[in-house]
Chains A and B, each alone.
Chain A
Amino acid sequence: AQKVTQAQTEISVVEKEDVTLDCVYETRDTTYYLFWYKQPPSGELVFLIRRNSFDEQNEISGRYSWNFQKSTSSFNFTITASQVVDSAVYFCALSEAGGGYQKVTFGTGTKLQVIP
């Protein structure tokens, strides 16, 4: 069974600090996708990134970067020079090829508060 663990329930940082959100997953499938979503205080869910299990290249998008390590089953998300607008709940998610990628398991989320 697939499982996603986000052990950090809440994190507070001061603006301009870097912060890393952890995501650890479990799956028996060798082919799967990992995702990060952002839920700002307004409540909508915004897709940030997806990564397939065969692509371990790290990705950078502006102040955001993602570190995928199959050896430790982790897909961590780093925000560099955090800003108040980064305050949100961030969810990591997993879907397996075995389920046609339809069955998606989310972590419990990490609430990030960026203090001005």
Chain B
Amino acid sequence: EAQVTQNPRYLITVTGKKLTVTCSQNMNHEYMSWYRQDPGLGLRQIYYSMNVEVTDKGDVPEGYKVSRKEKRNFPLILESPSPNQTSLYFCASSLQGAYGYTFGSGTRLTVV
């Protein structure tokens, strides 16, 4: 089944403790992207990548890192999480950006 898999689905962590949210797609898509969803703000793009080793900042990149060492994987790294990063995170992939994205199931992160 074609899908984008994110892990974990839920995560509660403490301020400052480094964490990684994994994202993997099995569709051989070139494009991958991370979004955060907050009430009243919709989805905002954190980082995107059009190919291996090619990443770029979206609208809200502060406090996040990504890497694209393999085509299928695009992990999101929070080096020192803070409470304002409490949010619902989505990873997405697309064959080409103009085609529309397939989204993962989301990761609900709470930073206390």
**In contact, A101 and B96 (Cβ under 8 angstroms):** yes
Please give me the 5 A-B residue pairs with the lowest Cβ-Cβ distance, nearest first.
A101-B97, A45-B103, A108-B42, A106-B43, A101-B98
Number of interface residues of B (CB under 8 A): 27
Q: Residue A105 at the B interface, CB < 8 A?
A: yes
Can you show 29 pairs from A to B with CB atoms below 8 A apart?
A: A6-B42, A33-B100, A35-B100, A43-B88, A43-B105, A43-B106, A44-B103, A44-B105, A45-B90, A45-B92, A45-B106, A50-B100, A52-B98, A91-B43, A93-B43, A95-B97, A95-B98, A97-B98, A100-B97, A101-B96, A102-B31, A102-B50, A102-B97, A104-B45, A104-B97, A105-B59, A106-B44, A108-B40, A109-B42
Among B43, B99, B105, point to the contact of A50 (Cβ < 8 A): B99
Bound Cα distance from A52 to B98, whole angstroms: 8
Q: Considering the complex, which residues of chain B in the window 4-28 have a beta carbon less than 8 Å from any beta carbon of chain A? A: none
Q: Residue A107 at the B interface, CB < 8 A?
A: yes
